[in-house]
Amino acid sequence: MTPEPENRRFSLRDIARQLGVSHAAVSMALRDSPRISATLKEKIRNYAEQVGYRPDPMLTALASYRQSKSNPAIQAAIAWINAWPQPDELRSFREFDAYWLGASAAAEKFGYRLEEFRVGRECSPKRLHQILSTRGIRGLLLPPHREQPDWGDFPWSSYSLVRFGRSLGKPHTHIVTADQVANTMLAIHEILRRGYRRVGLVIEEKRLRESGHLFEGGYALAQRSIPDKDRVPVMALGALSAGEKSKSIATWIKKHKVEAIFTDLAEVPDLLGKQGIRIPDDVALAVTSVLDAQADAGIDQHPEEIGRVGLLMLNSLINDGARGIPKIFRQILVEGSWVDGSTLPDRR
């Protein structure tokens, strides 16, 4: 190798010249591209570290600008892992389908294609890894799951990972999700602003315990701005039948003189109906997500933005060569917006 003068900034072409490879190969190796062999990738990375290579931020910004103005050819796939028992059910939820749409659109901007891989009876986690490895896929998006899948000994260390929401306890990867605390505080504020005094939260105990939902945390913070006499305790539904849940909610509403409900449970209108409680005549209703509920007032969680940001986060992990379960856990929270609706009319 030709000696280089001290105190100079090394470029990709400098490294390529010293190692006798193309600058494109150097670029792909530093971005952890599967198109470069592991041996050559390690050689390039070691030399880049040895000479103290750092990307030029101005050139990086220029490249990003040029890429945003063009339509890059699809070079590789990003995997969307669906382990639902009934796989078609996942994207039947408008919220989760919007995650897909946002991530898919963002993937195309970076030359990727978002592709669904279904894990279950026809494809085991072991078989999934074989398929992904053969295809050179190194980035995985994990959408929400109603039940925790049995991943077996799937080698997460081979992949860059991002999950949407907190429903998946494993793998413990970085998260992009709705800001449930901020959204709940916003909702309670907007409900109070529309003339309601006694506002209650209805949640399911199992979801709170297993999925790590934080709506109750936002509700507790919002209660601090409410006079003590108007505060309503949380209605946490246990493992009850529909009839028992219905009676429990009706009793809670009567005891605490609840005027409006905020909930993440789509079945609340049906439970109220079983007791002859009318929405919004007897009690008003707002929901944590207006997309998949029997109510039109509440929060728009901006799921397409959540999907887009999830892909951006995954792309940064791929480019940084960050794989497997992180030692330091990160989460990106996307704040929602309030949506007025007929289920919570203005009482002022």
Same domain, 200 and 278: yes
Contact 271, 246 (CB under 8 A): yes
Q: How far is 259 from 93, CA to CA, in rounded Å?
A: 29
Q: Which tens digits make up the pLDDT trace of 17-57?
A: 877 777 677 777 776 666 677 777 778 777 777 777 766 55
Same domain, 129 and 237: no
Same domain, 295 and 309: no
| Residue 35 is assigned to a structural domain of this protein | yes
The pair phi, psi for residue 123, each rounded to 5°, is: -145, 110
Neighbours of 66 (CB within 10 A): 10
Q: How far is 219 from 159, CA to CA, in rounded Å?
A: 37
Beta strands in 98-159 (DSSP E): 112-118, 139-142
In single-letter form, the type of residue at position 344 comes to L
How many domains is the chain partitioned into structurally?
3
Compute the radius of gyration of the chain from its Cα atoms: 25
Could you tell me which residue, 336 or 244, shows the higher pLDDT? Answer: 336
Same domain, 194 and 267: yes
Residues 6+ apart with CB under 8 A from 4: 10, 14, 18, 51
> At which of 68, 94, 112 does a domain end?
68
| Residue 59 is assigned to a structural domain of this protein | yes
Same domain, 92 and 235: no
Same domain, 225 and 269: yes
We report the CATH number of the domain holding residue 24 as 1.10.260.40
| Residue 109 is assigned to a structural domain of this protein | yes
- Tokens 């408008």 belong to 94
Of residues 16, 35, 338, the one with CA closest to residue 185: 338
Same domain, 257 and 296: yes
Tell me, yes or no, if the pTM score tops 0.75. yes
What pLDDT shows up at residue 56? 57
Same domain, 212 and 257: yes
| Residue 118 is assigned to a structural domain of this protein | yes
Same domain, 161 and 62: no
Same domain, 219 and 277: yes
C-alpha dist (Å) from residue 299 to 153, 157, 186: 38, 36, 9
Q: Which two tokens stand for residue 296?
A: 């039109």
We report the CATH number of the domain holding residue 326 as 3.40.50.2300
Residues 6+ apart with CB under 8 A from 281: none
- Range(s) of the domain holding residue 322: 76-178+304-336
Q: How far is 191 from 345, CA to CA, in rounded Å?
A: 9
Q: Which tens digits make up the pLDDT trace of 141-187?
A: 999 998 899 999 999 999 999 999 998 889 999 999 999 999 999 99
β-partners of residue 36 are none
In single-letter form, the type of residue at position 70 comes to S
What pLDDT shows up at residue 241? 85
| Averaged pLDDT for residues 249-275 | 95
Pseudo-torsion of CA 225, 226, 227, 233, nearest 10°? -130
SS3 268: helix
> At which of 68, 85, 113 does a domain end?
68
| Residue 191 is assigned to a structural domain of this protein | yes
Same domain, 159 and 174: yes
Same domain, 328 and 292: no
